Amino acid sequence: MEPRSEEMAVYFYAILFLRHPEVRSLFPPDMDVQRDRLLRALLRIVDLVDDADNLVRFCSRLGRDHRKFGTLNAHYAAVGECLLDALARFAGPAWSPELADAWQRAYATASRTMMLAADDDTRLRPARWTARIVDHRRYGHGIAELTVRTDEHYPYAAGQYVSVETPWWPRQWRSYSPANAPRPDSTMTFHVKAVPQGRVSTALVHRARPGDLLRLGPPEGDMTLPPDSRRDLLCVAGGTGLAPIRALIEQVAAERSDREVALFVGARTAQELYGLDDMLRMSQRHHWLSVRASVSHQRIPGTEGSLPEVISEFGPWGGHEVFLSGPPGMVTAAAHVLTERGVPLARIHHDPLDVPVLNAPLQPARLPEEETPAPWS
C-alpha cells in the first residue's frame, strides 16, 4: 500500500467526514499535516505489532494526547469503520477475509488501549488548560519571548515540553518547552522562533499580544533531572533549544546542589546567540555554572565551529548526565560525538526530534547502566 498511502489517507478522511460529519470540528481546516500523522501512527503500530509492551506504551500515549482534541470514546468506532474500508479499497487483491479480521482485531486492541489510557488520565488532570499571555517581547531573528499564566495550577517538571493551541489557528497544536523551572505564580515563559510556513510559531511571534488566550495540553517529555543521580551535567543548546536547558539549570539552582553544570550555547552567527547574556549573568551568580558559546558560520574572536565539534574539544564527559536541545541535526551529531567518547547512551537525554507523540522513545528513558549502550544512529 505504500505507493498509494497519501491517496488512501485522503480517501479515509473524506469518507469519515461524509459518514460522521460530527467529527469534522475536531480537526484543523488544513488536513495535510493531519493526513501525514495518521499514516505515521499506523506505520508505528504495524512496526510494534510484535512488541506488546511498547505497543501499549505508544497507544496509551496517543490516547492521552487525543484528550486535548475533544476525542470521545464513541469516535473510535467511526474511525475504525472508515479506516478498514480505506485499507480494503487501496490494498486491492492483497486484501482478504483473514487480513480484514486481523486488522479488525488490531484496531480493536489499539483503540481499547487508547480509551483506557484516556479514561485513567481523566481522573488525574484536565484535558487542557487556558493560559493568558501576560508579557510578550520580540527579539531579533524572528524570536519572541512569551510569558503566560494558567487559569489553574499547571504541573510540569523543568525540561518538559507543552503543546500549545492559538486562537488564530484552532486545532493546530505545536510543542514548546518552558524556559523556566516551575514558579509559585503559575507563570511560564516560552521562547518561540517564527519558522518558514510555521503558522502557529509566526502567530505567536508576530500576532500575539498580552491579554490573548492560549490553550495548553498536558506536559510531556522525559528530559528531566534524574531524581536518583547527583552527577555533574553537560548541557548543549542550539537556538531556542536553550529554553528547556535554562529551565533545568534553574532547577539545579533551586535544589542548591553542589553539582557542576557545563553549558555550551551555539548558533550560526554571533548575532543569533540568543539568551547568552542571561546565561552569563546566571553564571556570575552561581560558581558551579560555566558557559561557553560558539558560532559555526562566522569568524570572530573566541570559539568557532559547530556545537558537536566544540564539545569534543572539552571534557571528558563520561561521568556526566547530558542534555541536548536544538535543531535535530545538531542533537544527532552531538549524541554521536559523545557516545564515541564514552558517554553511555542511557545518560544522553533529549526531546523527540519530530512530532513528540509519534516519535517519543517508548522504552524506559534510562536503561540500567551495566548495559552496553547501542551505537547512535
* Domain locations in the chain as residue ranges: 2-122, 129-216, 233-359
Q: Picking from 1-10, 53-62, 161-170, 180-189, which range would have the lowest pLDDT averaged per residue? A: 1-10
In whole angstroms, give the CA distance from residue 53 to residue 357: 17
Condensed to tens digits (0 to 9), the pLDDT of residues 249-294 reads: 999 999 887 789 999 988 776 667 778 888 999 999 999 999 988 8
The CATH architecture to which 129-216 belongs is Beta Barrel (2.40)
- What pLDDT, on the 0 to 100 scale, is given for residue 222? 86
123 vs 298: CA distance, rounded Å: 53
Backbone angles phi, psi at 186, to 5 degrees: 60, 30
Tell me, letter by letter, the H, E, C secondary structure of 40-78. HHHHHHHHCCCCHHHHHHHHHHHHHHHHHHCCCHHHHHH
Phi, psi dihedral angles at 135 (to 5 degrees): -155, 140
d(CA 225, CA 365): 12
Name which of 95-104, 296-305, 324-333 the model is least confident about. 296-305
Per-residue pLDDT of 142-186, as tens digits, reads 889 999 999 899 999 999 999 999 999 999 999 999 999 999 999
3-state DSSP assignment of residue 315:
coil
> Position of cell 541536548?
324
> According to the model, what pLDDT value does residue 367 have?
36
Q: Measured between alpha carbons, how far is 95 from 111 in angstroms, rounded to an integer?
A: 22
Give the CATH number of domain 2-122.
1.10.490.10
CATH class for the region spanning 233-359: alpha beta
| pLDDT over threshold 90, residue 200 | yes
Model pTM? 0.82
Sign of the CA dihedral running 73, 75, 81, 84: negative
Q: What 3-state DSSP class applies to 103?
A: helix
CB 311 within 8 A of CB 296: no
